[in-house]
Every structure is written in C-alpha cells, then in structure tokens.
Chains A and B, each alone.
Chain A
Amino acid sequence: MNQAEIRKLIPAVRVVINAKHRRFSNPKGPEGRLMMMRKTVTELVKLERVELNYQRGDEARGYAERLIASAIKNGDCHIPTMEMANYWLNEKQLVHKLFKVLAVRYRDSTESYTKLHKAPNKYPGFFREKAVLELKGNPFPPLEPNNSSRNWIHNILLEEAHQEYIKKKLKEEETDN
C-alpha cells in the first residue's frame, strides 16, 4: 500500500495522461470499459487514423502507446507481450502488423507513437469534444497544414532584432575589453 509496484519494469509513456482513469459508464462495468478500449485500439492499429470523441481517444491513446512500447521492448517471442497483443487486438492479422510493421517503424523513435488532434464539431448540434487519433508515420496526407512561419513578418523582424542585439553585445564586449 502507498508503494510503487516493482514486479514489472515499464517504460515511460510519452504522452500526457490523466492521473485517474475515466470510468466510461458501461452496462458491463469495468470489463465493458476495457472492451471499449480494445475496440478503439484495434481500429487504430488497423486504420492508423480514427475519428472519435476526445475522451475516448485520450484514454485509448495511453493503451495504444503502452502496447506499442512493450512490443518494441520485448519483441514477438516474449510470451506475456504476445498474450497482451492477442487480448488487445481483436483481429489476429493485426498482431502481426503490430510486431512486424509498427514495432519496426517506431523502433528508434524517442517521441510518442500517436498524435491526438482536436477535431471540429458539427454545428448546430449537441457539443461533443471530437478528436482524431492517429499513428505517426501513417500513409495519409497530414491533417494539420505544416505552414512554416519563418517568412512571416514578425519572425523576420525578430530575426533582425536578434542580429542587432548580437552586434550590440559584441560592441559592449569590445568597449569592456
């Protein structure tokens, strides 16, 4: 009690997670919640980009990250990892995809394996926080445009100010010496 579990060594999850789990009230209770998460993780591994509600996506993200991390760390000959992948992925070809494709893709990565984008909500209508959960390195076109702001006016002006600042500093150093 009040002690960290030491039986397993678990690598750090590289995303922001909630301190407590979300309950996701379900007729089957906690088991139903896990089955719901399983479905989401399976879909994510299969389709590599899923659109869902933010809460579900955020919760499933943790599970997906942990699954991929353990696949990378232990490989496919490690029996507990295989059992875990077998439980989490409802379709059995996806177990192969996890170990042969995703583990290889993210083997040298130091960042998170997933990205959770906030998605627009259909208006008018009941407001639900929508999100898109995707695996990094997926074959689809990027969701958010990668506009480089380097040539924007304020960045150019700041760069010039930076150059002037450096010159001023050098001058001051010369006068000091």
Chain B
Amino acid sequence: MALPRLQFITHTMKNLSIAPVCVSQVRAMSRVKRRRSLPPFWWPKSTRTMYPEHITSQNEDFLLDVVEEKYSSPLKVDPWERGTFKERSMRCGLIARKIGIYPMWTKDGSRLLTTLLQVSDNHVIKYIPPEEHIVHGLKKRYRELGAVVVGADPIDPRMITKEYYNIFSETGVMPKKKMSKFLVTPNAKLARGTPLYASHFRPGDYVDIAGTTIDRGFQGVMKRWGFKGMPASHGVTKSHRRGGTIGSGGDKARVLPGQKMPGHMGRERRNLRGLKVWRVNTQHNVLWVNGPAVPGGVGSYVYIYDSLLPHRKHTEENHPPFPTFFQDEEDIEEELYDEQLHAFHLPSIQFAEK
C-alpha cells in the first residue's frame, strides 16, 4: 500500500532535514493540539473585572489627565550600546494589525495584491539575555539567542490587573494589549521603552508573518479539505457534500489517524514565509506586504519577522537598520517605495518602441 511506504521514506529522510510534502504529514499532525481555549497557565490575568463606578465626568477627565501625564515623558534611561550587523544576526520583529488589502502595480504593468499592516505603537518591553532565557525544549542552535519582548497597542492602566501592570512599570510606556517575544542575537538587544516603527523594515526586504487565521467554525469536508463532493443529481442519495469512504477495509480494519473529516476550521496559527515588503509609510507606520493571504481578518494582529528563508537572508553589504531604525533621531521620507513598484504619483506606464 502506498501510504505506509511514504511514512517509511519520511522517517529516513528526517535526518536530511528535507521537509516531506505528502499526505502522511497530515496524519502525523492530526494529534497536535492546534488551538487553545484558555491562555497558558503561566500568563498573568491581564484584564480585571470592571464594575460600574459612577465617577462623575469631571473626575473621569481628571483621572485621564493623570494617566496621560504619567506617560507623557519617557523614562530617562542610559542608552544601551547599539550592536552592529554580522552574518547570522537576528533582530527583533514587530507586531502589526492587518488593516486591509488593495492592489498595486509593478513598473512593467503586472498587478499584485498587497496587504496593509499597521505597526501600531510598538515598544520594547524588555530584553532577556541568553543566560536568563530559559525555554524548555529549545533547539541547540537557539540557545545562544536572547529574546526581546515587544508590546503593541496601549490599554488604559485602570482596566488591567496589578500583576499585568507591573510588567510595564519600568518601561515608561502605557501598558500594552498585545505582547510577543522575538528571538534575537545578543548584538540586537534593545533597551526598555525603545519605540519600534514600520521603518524597521525597508521596501525590498522579505518578511515572515505569523498570525491566527480567520475562525470559520465547524466546516464540512469540502471547505475544510477541498473534497470534490458528489453530483447534485443522477441518482445520488443524500451524499452531495459528504466525505464518502473513510477507510480501505481488509487488513487495516480501522480508520487511520489523520483521516480528513469535518471539524473546526480556522483560528490557528499559520506562518507565511518570504513575503516582500513593497512599500512603507513612515508617517502612519504602515507596511505594504505582498499578497492577500496574510492570516487573519481585518483588524487582527500579526507578528512580522525578518525572513528565515535561506535565499532571503541579509548580508553585511545590504542589511536592514540594525538593531532597529531610530526614527526619533534620524530623518526619513514619508513614503518609501520598492524600485519595482509603480507609485501612484508617477506618470502612466508606457512601453517603449523597439
């Protein structure tokens, strides 16, 4: 039978680290828990139960003034030394919100769809050096890496628990709604409270994006696995969108694990590799990234990293701003376009006569 043989092949090929693209991967992945209904037990509870407090509007304004004043001036910290780029350096990523999709055109006239991602108020929350960074089961090659925790989107400090608030007490920025850890080489370390902007990426860079896909709920086998179903007429009884046979019978005498069936589809973490950044707007902190397939709906959070693809690695001659682009100190144009991209303020594309 074809299937066991394939499994045998993938087992021996594991050491060669060639990823098998075959149906046995689905069967192996069927046991993995893909969604969690509760946050991990080690996370602190972030929001507190809000009760109606009947505060007068004047007092409400006063409280907001106090909160704003507290975060108006950044913390005075000694600036950390800024590392320089070396081969195999990894710098931190960004947390962005997907705000939409619209078409753009390249200079030779071909149309492509771009996803707009807004890097909303990112700040570094803390840096964890490699010695202190303990993750159970981390691969050997990642053990020399530190971690930078980045936070996005401020939240009113009155709405959160004390434990959650204390995470941000030394950063000098308002507590964040969303946080993520990015593995970095020690030379890419960043001080607490450093703002991160969309200019961290340049047009022409390639990025990997991780996000949670749209929740499609309980879906049938046609939408979930792409089964073809059965004809609408010609004597087909009650089986127009069903899966048909689920086993081969005989020796196996059971349903194999990983059998594709209806079930919950979506709300999973997915990574998209090697998306090109076509355009950057530094005023609104928006990135235009290739393709419409960024996981999640409009308004969902995504995590953007420098691409890990071997052909997209940065070199010392052409490396991105390292450890990040300090937009408060340096000037940058408002709109940056990739060389191949046709910016809308340019004249129409015309093909030259040979």
Contact = CB atoms under 8 A, between A and B. Distances in A.
The yes or no verdict on A and B being binding partners is: yes
A159 B58 contact: yes
A30 B66 CA distance: 52
A9 interface: no
Contacts, number: 26
A147 B65 CA distance: 26
A155 B63 CA distance: 11
B70 to A, nearest CB: 12
Interface in A134-158: 147, 149-150, 152, 154-155, 158
A165 B55 contact: no
A92 interface: no
26 contacts: A147-B54, A149-B54, A149-B55, A149-B56, A150-B56, A152-B54, A154-B53, A154-B55, A155-B54, A155-B55, A155-B56, A155-B59, A158-B55, A158-B56, A158-B59, A158-B62, A158-B63, A159-B58, A159-B59, A161-B62, A162-B58, A162-B59, A162-B62, A165-B62, A165-B65, A165-B66
Interface in B57-72: 58-59, 62-63, 65-66
Interface residues of B, number: 10
Contacts of A154: 53, 55
Main secondary structure of the interface of A (DSSP, over half): helix
B110 to A, nearest CB: 22
Nearest to A162: B62
Contacts of B56: 149-150, 155, 158
Contacts of A149: 54-56
Nearest to A150: B56
Return the 7 tightest CB-CB contacts between A and B, nearest first: A149-B54, A158-B59, A162-B62, A155-B56, A150-B56, A155-B59, A155-B55
A72 B59 CA distance: 37
Interface string B35-58: 000000000000000000111101
A159 B66 CA distance: 13
Contacts of B65: 165
Contacts of B62: 158, 161-162, 165
